[in-house]
Homo-oligomer: A and B are copies of this chain.
Amino acid sequence: MAVVRHIFVSASGEVLPRWREAFPKAVGRRFGEAVSPDSGFVVVWWRLPAGKGVESIADVRTTLAADVPIIVLSDMPGDDEAEACFAAAVRGYGNTHSVPALLKQIADVVAQGGLWIGESLMQRLLRGVAQIPPPAPIAQPAVWDELLTEREREVAQVVAAGASNKEIARELGITERTVKAHVGAVLDKLGVRDRLQLALVVNGHRRN
């Protein structure tokens, strides 16, 4: 696999800590700044603020060589927006605050010619109508499991089985406060917003 260079384009031009963690040599650019890579295989990451349209992505698409993939990181992911991004020849669409391991995964998939697209959007495209809500983030077992500490994993699994914080506390012999701390850490690490989506991630990849 050739070395891949990562360019993060955003309003501020900064490289968020998570992005930097995933790609230590990532470069930041502001909207409007030249993004043309001078050499090597490049992946352009486009940060999309909430509520912003995707017209600018289509614009920058025309300024880049066809072999430079664009991955959009959205502050507020949604299927409508994702669909518009893919229509603008984007190769991947994710959450601005995704964990570094997931960012790397997305980059790897896209660098190899694959698409990173939420299941719900795929279903929606196949049906031609919007029937399914915003996607639960896709995380493979090898990822979500490995991202967590033993305790966090334990809590995640009990959550995914349907337990409330109070029930988890009782079951694990800790306070509800600690449960919340672990749940919060798990949500953060996996880049999901609430326990329901956490359960989707955990249960989607477990044998029964």
Contact = CB atoms under 8 A, between A and B. Distances in A.
Contact of A205 (B66, B120, B134): B66
Contacts of A11: none
A196 interface: yes
Contacts of A203: 200, 203, 205
Contacts of A167: 133-134
Contact of A67 (B196, B199, B205): B205
Contacts of A110: 114
Interface in A136-162: 136, 138-143, 157-159, 161-162
Contact of A171 (B1, B111, B130, B196): B130
Contact of A126 (B83, B127, B195): B83
Given A134-B167, A207-B65, A139 B113 contact: yes
Contacts of A143: 113
B113 A112 contact: no
A126 B135 contact: yes
A202 B181 CA distance: 28
Nearest to A79: B171
Contacts of A163: 133-134
16 contacts: A41-B141, A65-B205, A67-B141, A87-B126, A105-B113, A112-B140, A113-B138, A115-B122, A125-B130, A128-B128, A128-B130, A162-B196, A162-B206, A164-B194, A196-B196, A203-B205
